[in-house]
């Protein structure tokens, strides 16, 4: 079977496709024949050596895959063979066949295609933790979503609206018309160094109730300033560290711009605001919660309340181009790898 291997630290040229024997499921596991697997920015952070929970390289990355169960381990009903599923993987999804705990392979509702299924887990789980767990969106809340046209951004926009919130968005200018067509109240350039005043003006001076910040560094304080009283800032990425080639130098530049002293407990109390953070990788040991949240998301997907956006589909052999598209922020929604015979759709 084919696997996409991240061989070393560096750029997308560190990715290699290799052939290896298919794995056998252990007791309590199922083996999924992968149709599609989702790319995530966490994979880039692993390759750059900036992901704290990343595996040692060389490694097969990937946290999510859709496909069909083709084998089961002891203790798993044989009747699950042939089931169309979407699977949560700690790593290893970039493989034609991958073994996962049976509870982490979710049967797909009728009418849900494998493309949308593969675009669901990581992006929507991240958005769910932000907007249902850490900063539950309430009807009328103004939610500021940065990088709103990306995979997590699109998921966050949908979950914000599902909760009755109003979306304010930043993205590169080429994506502004799309976001306006989706109903965003305010759309501005994600490269704007100062945007808090724009947010305050668009909200009649009130500011936003929730701000979702994926970039880290110097952007944190400006998103904080965009909040109103009782506002909540949720940090969910470190993407600024990948700019200009990333690596240790990029991480140091980003960390140097973090307002370590400015956002202190006294200021948070006086401003009546809060700051939280999400690293989905740190929740893998709470599989019970991830499984429960996935069932909620699949219910919304089946009902048509959410609709994952697929940007483009590449073959594993085209993975370098796929990651360049992700790293250069050219995607709108999810970038997928197609492991089926015949290549990308």
158-188 residue pLDDT tens = 999 999 999 999 999 999 999 999 999 999 9
Q: DSSP class of residue 62?
A: -
105 and 202 in a single domain? The answer is no
Cα–Cα dist 144/20, whole Å: 45
- Is 90 within a domain? yes
The predicted structure's pLDDT at residue 83 = 98
| pLDDT mean across residues, the chain | 94
Q: Decide if 208 contacts 201 (C-beta within 8 A).
A: no
Rounded alpha-carbon distances, angstroms, from residue 253 to 74, 95, 217, 247, 307: 50, 35, 8, 10, 36
CATH code of the domain covering residue 104 = 3.90.180.10
In a domain, 303, yes or no: no
User: How confident is the model at residue 75, as a pLDDT?
Assistant: 98
**Which residues span the domain enclosing 37?**
2-120+308-338
Give percent of the chain above pLDDT 70. Answer: 94
> Six-digit token pair at 17?
């496709």
Q: Which residues contact 227 (CB under 8 A, 6 or more apart)?
A: 207, 208, 209, 211, 233, 271, 273
Does 274 reside within a domain?
Answer: yes
With a cut of 90, say whether residue 150 has pLDDT above it.
yes
Phi, psi of 37 (to 5 degrees): -130, 145
The answer to whether 276 and 135 are in contact (CB under 8 A) is yes
- Asked if pLDDT for residue 133 goes beyond 60, the answer is yes
Same domain, 147 and 269: yes
Separation between Cα atoms, residue 343 and residue 317, nearest integer Å: 9
User: Which of 265, 280, 295 is the last residue in one of the domains?
Assistant: 280
Short-list 243, 251, 311, 318, CA closest to 13: 318
| Integer CA distances (angstroms), 321 to 12, 129, 316, 324, 337, in order | 8, 30, 10, 5, 11
Same domain, 94 and 131: no
Q: Within this chain, do residues 60 and 126 fall inside the same structural domain, yes or no?
A: no
| 286 found inside a domain | no
- What integer pLDDT is reported at residue 311 of this predicted model? 98
Q: Please give the pLDDT value at position 345.
A: 46
Rounded to 5 degrees, what are φ and ψ at 256?
-65, -20
* 36 within 8 A of 67, measured Cβ to Cβ: yes
* 73 CB neighbour count, 10 Å cutoff: 16
Average pLDDT over residues 139-152: 97
Provide the percentage of residues in the chain whose pLDDT is more than 90.
86
Q: How many residues does the chain have?
A: 345
Q: Within this chain, do residues 267 and 170 fall inside the same structural domain, yes or no? A: yes
Q: What is the pLDDT of residue 245?
A: 56
pLDDT at 218: 87
Shared-domain flag, residues 220 and 235: yes
Same domain, 128 and 257: yes
Cα torsion 47, 49, 55, 60 to 10°: value is: 10
Residue with tokens 């767990």: 133
In this prediction, residues 51-63 reach a mean pLDDT of: 93
Q: How many CB atoms lie within 10 A of CB 280?
A: 20
The pTM (predicted TM-score) of the whole model is 0.95
pLDDT, tens only, 64-121: 999 999 999 999 999 999 999 999 999 999 999 999 999 999 999 999 999 999 999 9
268 and 180 share one domain: yes
Q: Do 128 and 99 lie in a common domain?
A: no
DSSP 94: S
Q: What is the DSSP letter of 333?
A: B
Q: Is residue 8 part of a domain?
A: yes
Would you say residue 261 lies in a domain?
yes
**How many domains is the chain partitioned into structurally?**
2
- Give the pLDDT mean for 226-243: 84
Instruction: Tell me whether residue 218 is exposed, middle or buried, using C-beta atoms within 10 angstroms of its C-beta: 0 to 12, 13 to 18, 19 or more.
Output: middle
CATH of residue 184's domain is 3.40.50.720
Q: Are residues 107 and 135 in the same domain?
A: no
pLDDT digits (tens, 9 = 90+) for 238-283: 765 556 555 666 667 767 777 878 899 999 999 999 999 999 989 9
Q: Strands, E, within 104-226: which ranges?
A: 105-107, 142-145, 166-171, 186-189, 208-213
Same domain, 164 and 58: no
Which H or E run includes 310?
strand 310-314
At 216 the pLDDT is 78
The reply to whether 112 and 162 lie within a common domain is: no
Q: Choose the final residue of a domain: 280, 298, 323.
A: 280
Q: Give mean pLDDT, residues 315-335.
A: 96
Residue 14 lies in a domain: yes
Alpha-carbon distance of 327 to 45, in angstroms, equals 10
Evaluate whether residue 254 is within a structural domain: yes
Q: What was the pLDDT predicted at 53?
A: 84
């Amino acid at each position: 079977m084919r696997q996409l291997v991240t061989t070393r630290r560096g750029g997308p040229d560190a990715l290699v496709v290799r052939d290896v024997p298919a794995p056998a499921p252990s007791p309590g596991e199922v083996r999924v024949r992968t149709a599609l697997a989702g790319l995530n920015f966490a994979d880039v952070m692993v390759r750059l050596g900036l992901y704290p929970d990343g595996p040692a390289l060389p490694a097969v990355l990937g946290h999510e895959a859709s496909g069909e169960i083709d084998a089961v381990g002891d203790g798993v009903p044989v009747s699950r063979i042939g089931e169309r599923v979407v699977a949560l993987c700690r790593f290893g999804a970039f493989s034609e066949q991958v073994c996962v705990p049976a509870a982490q392979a979710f049967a797909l509702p009728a009418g849900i295609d494998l493309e949308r299924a593969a675009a669901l887990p990581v992006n929507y789980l991240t958005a769910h933790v932000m907007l249902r767990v850490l900063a539950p969106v309430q009807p009328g809340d103004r939610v500021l979503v940065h990088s709103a046209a990306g995979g997590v951004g699109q998921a966050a926009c949908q979950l914000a609206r599902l909760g009755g919130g109003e979306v304010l968005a930043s993205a590169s200018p080429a994506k502004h018309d799309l976001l306006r067509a989706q109903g965003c109240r305010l759309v501005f350039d994600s490269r704007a160094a100062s945007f808090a005043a724009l947010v305050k003006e668009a909200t009649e001076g009130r500011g936003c109730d929730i701000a979702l910040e994926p970039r880290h560094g110097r952007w944190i304080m400006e998103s904080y300033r965009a909040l109103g009283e009782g506002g909540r800032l949720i940090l969910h990425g470190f993407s600024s560290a990948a700019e200009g080639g990333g690596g240790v130098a990029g991480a140091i530049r980003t960390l140097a711009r973090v307002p370590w002293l400015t956002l202190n407990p006294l200021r948070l109390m006086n401003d009546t605001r809060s700051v939280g953070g999400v690293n989905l990788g740190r929740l893998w040991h709470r599989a019970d919660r991830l499984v429960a949240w996935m069932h909620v998301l699949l219910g919304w997907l089946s009902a048509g309340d959410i609709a994952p956006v697929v940007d483009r589909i590449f073959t594993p052999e085209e993975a370098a181009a796929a990651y360049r598209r992700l790293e250069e922020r050219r995607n709108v929604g999810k970038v997928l790898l197609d492991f089926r015979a015949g290549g990308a759709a």
